[in-house]
Structure 1
Amino acid sequence: MHLYDGHFGGMHLIWWIIWFIFIMWIFFIPVDIPYQKTKKESPLDVLKKRFAKGEISKEEFEESKKILELKD
């Protein structure tokens, strides 16, 4: 029984296709997977973002920051 006489050529091709699909799946998997745990933002992070966007004034930022630091 010879493995390279043409009888198993089709199965060999199928395994190459399976490996190719598997490797492509690993490299091109979406970064943002649903139900993936994400880093939860702290209240201070949210406050900093709001200040950076201009939604709150410097005085509001400082007052809120003091309140948050008292809670920690």
Structure 2
Amino acid sequence: MTMRLIATSIAVLSGAAVAYADPAGDWGAGYGHMGWGGGFGMLGGLMMLVFWGVIIALIVIAVRWFADNSSGRSKSSDAMDTLKSRFAKGEIDEDEFRKRKAALED
């Protein structure tokens, strides 16, 4: 079904382009010089920049998100490392270490 729709769309658009072609080669008729005569002017160029800016921003966000999620370390392991470090430095005693470790493992 999708291929049929694509083929039909191409056929219709091709037929419209051929029917609208200027046989005399007059630049003043139709769309003008490669579509720039359609009245968009700088707005068309600005919208192109906005479009590509959004695409690039989405790619950057996706890469950062995947990089953060694929680091392999979870928040609980970071907390456990901090707890072990504090115990090793003597900031907390063994009872406090065991209570906090049990709380983190739950």
Pairwise TM-score range, normalised by the shorter structure? 0.3 to 0.5
Tell which structure's C-alpha radius of gyration is larger: 2
RCO greater where, 1 or 2, for CA within 8 Å and sep 6 or more? 1
Structure with more helix by fraction:
2
Q: Calculate the TM-score normalised by the size of structure 1.
A: 0.41
